[in-house]
A and B are shown apart, each in its own frame.
Chain A
């Protein structure tokens, strides 16, 4: 009985941010350092990532360590891309038909073939970072567009555009793998 009381108390008062900060700080710092030019930029990116995490702490889930770790790596990568790799952002790509509307649900399929799954994963991994990160945040971690805007300090149009373009790329990947859109 006492252990139940204690766990309830701990759940109530333990700082989620503090837990994330101390457990994943070094991993995130390592990612930031590998994606930025110097220690100063890496620390700036880390600082922005933790500010974003603090702002969104109520919607971050810590009950699945594997997913939490993936999420934190995605967040820091996203910050590094947005803040320090502006020039390499594919936002200006002309290859997308901006008028075309598409929904993730519409292209979602159940795929049984192991080889096709492997091809699709490899193609997802090869997608441009901003689109991939936007898709991870939206469809893996279930954040709304508004939440992603808060996390990435990007405006709603940019986030929506990245999700849409990412979804278009996913459709293209599915088509190439022989999974036709219905």
Chain B
């Protein structure tokens, strides 16, 4: 047997421990909208960081950037196959998720001045929390088992990533509102995203409510109050 150093043994111990943990029955976690929002923000900021020019790039990196730029120009037509515009989102599909990016219009004041909420909430659900600031409003309802979330954010440099492992984004019109939605049966999750001229909305609800009920909630979203006290 090949002699092992103490470091080799630590590596083996960590690997065994990881294997033991992975062999345990998987505990699933339903992620809250605020968690998903926070992760989306990190992903967006990481991408922004990535795109920043480096102070002293290595030659290989410079070459890669030049090649990338050349390829982007040369394949502009092909890129349409990967990115398309529906609503005003730029959509980019990956293996397990889809990115929606909405580039903000600076011509209006970027502050939350109105709060939109659904007038219809399914029976059994009651208001769990409601918070807002100058950038967004986040409201949730709970029925003792599951949550419904609605987040309304002012349009800025908005990026969203939706889990589309179970299937592609679906384009639909709920009431008069075109939306994108995706479902994930494993987490009993229905996620919808849409925007109006001022705001971008994230909606999350249990999938087992049924599409008809979910549509009814989204279609009932209307002006609830005007705010400026932050």
Partners in one complex: yes
Interface size for chain A: under 10, 10 to 19, 20 to 34, or 35 or more residues?
35 or more
Q: Are B43 and A108 in contact (CB under 8 A)?
A: no
Which residues of chain B have C-beta atoms less than 8 A from A74's C-beta?
Answer: 14
- Closest A residue, CB atoms, query B65: A12
Q: Are B97 and A111 in contact (CB under 8 A)?
A: no
Which residues of chain A have C-beta atoms less than 8 A from B51's C-beta?
Answer: 13
CB distance from B97 to the nearest CB of A (A): 6
CB distance from B14 to the nearest CB of A (A): 5
| B10 touches A (CB below 8 Å) | yes
Distance between Cα atoms of A26 and B186 in the complex (Å): 11
Which residues of chain A have C-beta atoms less than 8 A from B27's C-beta?
Answer: 29-30, 33-34, 42
Distance between Cα atoms of A31 and B26 in the complex (Å): 8
Q: Are B10 and A140 in contact (CB under 8 A)?
A: yes
CB distance from B156 to the nearest CB of A (A): 20
Q: Are B9 and A120 in contact (CB under 8 A)?
A: yes
Q: Are B29 and A112 in contact (CB under 8 A)?
A: no
CB distance from A174 to the nearest CB of B (A): 8
CB distance from B164 to the nearest CB of A (A): 11
Known: A26-B28, A70-B14, A136-B14. A108 touches B5 (CB 8 A): yes
What 1/0 mask marks residues of chain A from 24 to 41 whose CB sits below 8 Å from any chain B CB? 001101111110000100
| B64 touches A (CB below 8 Å) | yes
| B215 touches A (CB below 8 Å) | no
Which residues of chain A have C-beta atoms less than 8 A from B68's C-beta?
Answer: 8-9, 12-13
| A168 touches B (CB below 8 Å) | no
Q: Are A117 and B46 in contact (CB under 8 A)?
A: no
Restricting to B38-53, which residues have a CB under 8 Å from any CB of A?
Answer: 38-39, 42-43, 45-47, 50-51
What 1/0 mask marks residues of chain B from 2 to 19 whose CB sits below 8 Å from any chain A CB? 111111011111111110
Mark the stretch among A47-55, A145-153, A154-162 that contacts chain B: A47-55
Q: Are B96 and A22 in contact (CB under 8 A)?
A: yes
Q: Are B18 and A15 in contact (CB under 8 A)?
A: no
Overall SS of chain B's interface: helix
Name, among B6, B12, B13, B71, the residue most crowded by chain A CB atoms within 10 Å (CB to CB): B6
Q: Are B3 and A39 in contact (CB under 8 A)?
A: no
Q: Are B4 and A139 in contact (CB under 8 A)?
A: no
CB distance from A80 to the nearest CB of B (A): 12
| B67 touches A (CB below 8 Å) | yes
Known: A39-B30, A140-B11. A12 touches B1 (CB 8 A): no
Contact residues of B with A, CB < 8 Å? 1-7, 9-18, 21-22, 24, 26-32, 35, 38-39, 42-43, 45-47, 50-51, 61, 63-65, 67-68, 71, 94, 96-97, 161
Contact residues of A with B, CB < 8 Å? 5-6, 8-9, 11-13, 15-18, 21-22, 26-27, 29-34, 39, 42-43, 46-47, 50-51, 54, 57, 66-67, 69-70, 73-74, 104, 107-114, 117, 120-121, 124-125, 132, 135-136, 139-140, 170, 174
